[in-house]
Structure 1
Amino acid sequence: MEHLPAAPAPSADHITDRSMTDFRAAAAWQWRQAVLDGEVSVVELASAALTAAATRSGLGAFVHLDPDYALSRAEQLDRTIAQLRRIQGTTTAAAELSARAPLLGLPMAFKDLVPVAGMPLTLGTRALPVQIPAVDAPLARRLHRAGAVSIGKTQVPELGLHCYSENQIAAAARNPLDLSRTAGGSSGGSAAAVSAGILPFAPGSDGGGSVRIPAAACGLVGLKPGRGRLPDDDQDPGVQNLPVSGPLASSAEDAALLFDVMAGHRFASPTGSRTLGPATGPAQRRVQHALSQGLEPVRVGVTMESPFSPELEIVLADDAVVAVQEGISRLQDAGHMIQGTDRCTGADRFWPADYFENFTSLWTSRLAGADFPTEVFAELEPLTQHYLEVAASRSAADVQKSLTALGDFSAGAEDIFGPWDVILTPLLASAPPEIGWFSAFSPEQNYVEQCRFTPYSSVVNVLGLPAVSVPVHTDSRGLSWSVQLMGKHGSEELLLALAAVIMRR
């Protein structure tokens, strides 16, 4: 089993080392502070990310790198910072920049599903012509305005449809914890880049687990916000609106920093501070408070039942169970109250009946309006063709029946919480498979195996609720295992704080 080198030990002077090519040496918020304090330049950070991406090209994290754009923008930011320091002084300039540009100088990359001005957009498919967008997508524009420096585009599955990031146009995204295995999907390239230390953190998108799955596979924190929580996401409240954007990071505090920017939160200096300290957003402050002062006890329900059962046989690996036990133990040690859902519901089944069939109908129905010409259809991957054929074969009445059932389920999303504030589940049922494992199956079986691998993620998208993937266990092979915490509408900050408390141990 081949691994990437371990992260270098963090040190006070590492961030000023021009040869540094591993962002695991410090937290994202520390790199941010180093830029604000003048200890490292934006050009140095951009160069470090570009060097790391180039030297680790075998990881398959990127489909496109743009050194010219990244370094040009980095130089521009360094000039702006220098000018503000001359006018305002270092301390005042740092305080102002931390509030106005909270991601100042931090290297960034977007999935190859997100339009970024001047960078190729392939959507992970060879069936469609490559586009060169003239303007940023709203999320990319927001993060760029916050001071982030894009270095390229990360690998995705075709049209973002699969839970593994392999396609016909570029090398597969590999897992830094074991290079023979998948990094997950659809934000697999982004997760691989963060886990390998190429980037300090990255934005992803999640339509059925596409942030949480690669986060769990690669040992990261991955937050899926609730439907409509982020201003740049589709605000349609309907159940067919599955995708949202969310952060991937090595820690809960870094995820909170990126989430604050993605959510459009205001950054401010600490209340009552006598110094001009760095500005923080509300999610980051919530995490910092949880780490320093703890959290008020929350009630946590635990379920091991998958919504795909009993239609699919779901078998959890021993390490998936160990991860749940470890997550429960850490929450109990922190003073939180745990109770199994089977003790409270009094029902034979926690999730609604026929979920697998209804979700399959919902998932494929989103492609029903795609009218690909014959020559384009022939270039699509077999699994994508299968989804389109399934969508075309289902009657309007059957699709509407499934949408109505899941829409009713979504409308009462918080009813599942009963006496609990948060629900804990496993996330991945098994270790990330080897590259090529899924595609070796027939398209029909490929889809089933993806569901068996990720049996707890899609239901959160259907419900429109927030959830976070939290790494809690490392097995004897060095692979990471996570738990999923689901919260009520608007509980993203609480979930990140709980993740921080769980990971502190």
Structure 2
Amino acid sequence: MLPLSAVKLRDQLAAGEISSREATAHHLQRIDEQRSLGAFVHVSEAALDAAARADEAFVKNRGQLGRMHGMPTAFKDLGDVAGMPTTHGSAAVEHPVATRDSALAARLRAEGVIVLGKTQVPEFGLSSYSENLIAAPSRNPLAPQRSSGGSSGGQAAAVAAGMIPVGPGSDGGGSVRIPAAACGLVGLKPSLGRIPSDVLEGYSDGFGAPKLTVSGPLAHDALDAALLMDAMRGTDHYLPLLRGRYPEELANLRIGYSTHSPFQSVYEITVSPDAQQAFSAGLKLLAQRHQVELAKLAYAEDYPEAFGAVWTNGLKDIPLQDESRLGALAREFRRRSQQRSLQAATQAATRIRQIAADFIRQWSAYDVIATPALSGVPPMVGHYTQGSAERDYMLQCQYSPYSSMVNVSSAAAITVPTGTSKEGLPLGIQLISPRSDEGMLLALALQISV
């Protein structure tokens, strides 16, 4: 039986106690056994051969191997992986087989990972649920009738179900933290620029807004997340930090908690009793070492409008093979982006930068801001798609009302499971670092792990 911990598996691989081929075969079997979860949209036929080559390299170059040499993982179907099709979760675009890796995939291949395949995403990564028109929805391993979240929903389902030990995700509005929280995992959204491959094309979009999407780990615990963070950056920092005295010595932080959301100006935001209980449980654990107090926050009432524009601005430029095959949400968001003038798009970008500065100003009165991870338990598969695109978007904002503001601010945040609902579904807490200290967030996650 392989360990659930990615760190322990890495250590066993590095010690030669288990071969990459054995680890890869085990995880491929897990993928095959749990196909009904819909986590994977493509499974590599070359993974075992790659693992065999990794084992040969281990024998020849044992002291010169990557941080995750021989460890299986997968990538979201929003980025290219050489030899595999890229669908972006859309039936409206071509699905070419990639001839080269994305920058992140190349970085992790350099660390020795074995790529098992591509995982399910929403169309163009737009939503907090991983359902689209090209493949079966990604389901929550803890309750298969429910969503695994999005847009890294397939990744979260795969990690939670033991199909991969740890998974790199991407987060543009909560897309690592939402599925991690839905599936009982730790999800880290790093600050903009912390992962070098995220900023190869700059720190802002084409209209002047901060780049929203960054890469981050989905993992069973903080140590596994730290391992993947180090591999994604190509430096040893976070895992040695967590294995040292820092988590034990970290104390007396000023932590402000709040359930106020910037979406409250347009939508009713309600935290369920179970989610509130898990949030309170997390705060109680934090209070054992730190100063926890209510944070009185006031957010700009035009945030929803400005964020919506910035979030959808780029859709009009996506080349489509067949626009009629767009899903309802992507079709509506694309229509809005096409109708938005350049002046309006630029004004929204300017306004979102002003709002981001105000977020950081308010949050910086504290070392950490704590919010609920989500407003409640994961919804049923199909919950969002029964009505209009506007209703779909509203439901998403109500489910994850504390996520996108972190992307707008370019700060770092982590979600950690701290309780369960009456049905046994995971719920948790989100911790935001206005000073973008990912090491501190990982240490706090380690302190409050339950």
Q: Is 2:120 the partner of 1:120?
A: no
1:236 corresponds in structure 2 to 203
Q: What pairs with 1:285-364 in structure 2 (closer than 5 Å)?
A: 285-289=240-244, 293-333=248-288, 335-342=289-296, 349-364=297-312
Q: Return the alpha-carbon distance in structure 1 between the equivalents of residues 382 and 276 of structure 2.
A: 26
Contact 2:377 2:421 in 1 (8 A): no
1:257 alignment partner, one of 227, 246, 250 = 227
Matched letter for residue 329 of structure 1: K
Matched letter for residue 167 of structure 1: N
Please report how far the alpha carbon of residue 401 of structure 1 lies from its aligned counterpart in structure 2 after TM superposition.
Answer: 2.9
1:193 corresponds in structure 2 to 158
Contact 2:241 2:439 in 1 (8 A): yes
Contact 2:247 2:443 in 1 (8 A): no
1:62 alignment partner, one of 13, 18, 40 = 40
Please report how far the alpha carbon of residue 239 of structure 1 lies from its aligned counterpart in structure 2 after TM superposition.
Answer: 2.6
1:435 alignment partner, one of 358, 381, 390 = 381
Please report how far the alpha carbon of residue 287 of structure 1 lies from its aligned counterpart in structure 2 after TM superposition.
Answer: 1.9
Please report how far the alpha carbon of residue 352 of structure 1 lies from its aligned counterpart in structure 2 after TM superposition.
Answer: 1.9
Task: Count residues with an aligned counterpart.
Answer: 445
1:3 corresponds in structure 2 to none
Q: Report the TM-score, using the length of structure 2 for normalisation.
A: 0.95
Matched letter for residue 150 of structure 2: G
2:328 corresponds in structure 1 to 382
Q: What's the secondary structure of 1:232's corresponding residue? A: helix
Please report how far the alpha carbon of residue 492 of structure 1 lies from its aligned counterpart in structure 2 after TM superposition.
Answer: 0.8
Q: Return the alpha-carbon distance in structure 1 between the equivalents of residues 192 and 299 of structure 2.
A: 20
Please report how far the alpha carbon of residue 395 of structure 1 lies from its aligned counterpart in structure 2 after TM superposition.
Answer: 3.7
Q: What's the secondary structure of 1:58's corresponding residue? A: helix
Matched letter for residue 464 of structure 1: S
Q: Return the alpha-carbon distance in structure 1 between the equivalents of residues 291 and 241 of structure 2.
A: 20
Please report how far the alpha carbon of residue 171 of structure 1 lies from its aligned counterpart in structure 2 after TM superposition.
Answer: 0.8
Please report how far the alpha carbon of residue 336 of structure 1 lies from its aligned counterpart in structure 2 after TM superposition.
Answer: 0.7
Matched letter for residue 497 of structure 1: A
1:83 corresponds in structure 2 to 60
Q: Report the TM-score, using the length of structure 1 for normalisation.
A: 0.85
Please report how far the alpha carbon of residue 403 of structure 1 lies from its aligned counterpart in structure 2 after TM superposition.
Answer: 1.9
Please report how far the alpha carbon of residue 371 of structure 1 lies from its aligned counterpart in structure 2 after TM superposition.
Answer: 5.6
Q: What pairs with 1:128-277 in structure 2 (closer than 5 Å)?
A: 128-234=93-199, 235-237=202-204, 238-265=208-235
Q: Is 2:49 the partner of 1:101?
A: no
Q: Return the alpha-carbon distance in structure 1 between the equivalents of residues 263 and 156 of structure 2.
A: 26
Larger radius of gyration: 1
Q: What's the secondary structure of 1:248's corresponding residue? A: strand
Matched letter for residue 176 of structure 2: V
Q: What pairs with 1:472-491 in structure 2 (closer than 5 Å)?
A: 472-491=418-437
Q: Which runs of 5+ in 2 are unaligned?
A: none
Q: Return the alpha-carbon distance in structure 2 between the equivalents of residues 261 and 290 of structure 1.
A: 22
Please report how far the alpha carbon of residue 298 of structure 1 lies from its aligned counterpart in structure 2 after TM superposition.
Answer: 1.2
Q: What's the secondary structure of 1:424's corresponding residue? A: strand
1:41-64 deviation digits (Å, cap 9, x = unpaired): 100000011111011100100001
Contact 2:275 2:421 in 1 (8 A): no
Q: What's the secondary structure of 1:222's corresponding residue? A: strand
Matched letter for residue 373 of structure 2: L
Q: Return the alpha-carbon distance in structure 2 between the equivalents of residues 478 and 461 of structure 1.
A: 30
Contact 1:290 1:500 in 2 (8 A): no
Contact 1:291 1:500 in 2 (8 A): no
Q: What's the secondary structure of 1:115's corresponding residue? A: coil
1:111 corresponds in structure 2 to 76
Q: Is 2:348 the partner of 1:402?
A: yes
Matched letter for residue 217 of structure 2: P
Matched letter for residue 467 of structure 1: A
Q: Return the alpha-carbon distance in structure 2 between the equivalents of residues 430 and 35 of structure 1.
A: 38
Q: Which runs of 5+ in 1 are unaligned?
A: 1-13, 16-24, 85-92, 266-280, 343-348
Q: CA RMSD in A?
A: 1.6
2:17 corresponds in structure 1 to 39
Please report how far the alpha carbon of residue 412 of structure 1 lies from its aligned counterpart in structure 2 after TM superposition.
Answer: 5.2
Q: Return the alpha-carbon distance in structure 2 between the equivalents of residues 156 and 329 of structure 1.
A: 35
1:107-163 deviation digits (Å, cap 9, x = unpaired): 010001110111111111111111111111111011111011001100011111111
Matched letter for residue 252 of structure 1: A
Please report how far the alpha carbon of residue 362 of structure 1 lies from its aligned counterpart in structure 2 after TM superposition.
Answer: 1.4
**Comparing 255-264 and 416-425, the one that deviates more:** 416-425
Matched letter for residue 263 of structure 1: R
**Comparing 28-37 and 410-419, the one that deviates more:** 410-419
Contact 2:364 2:434 in 1 (8 A): no
Aligned identity (percent) is: 40
Please report how far the alpha carbon of residue 431 of structure 1 lies from its aligned counterpart in structure 2 after TM superposition.
Answer: 1.3
Q: Return the alpha-carbon distance in structure 1 between the equivalents of residues 187 and 67 of structure 2.
A: 20
1:467 alignment partner, one of 413, 419, 426 = 413
Q: Return the alpha-carbon distance in structure 2 between the equivalents of residues 44 and 264 of structure 1.
A: 26
Matched letter for residue 79 of structure 1: E
Matched letter for residue 419 of structure 2: H
Matched letter for residue 474 of structure 1: T
Matched letter for residue 213 of structure 1: I
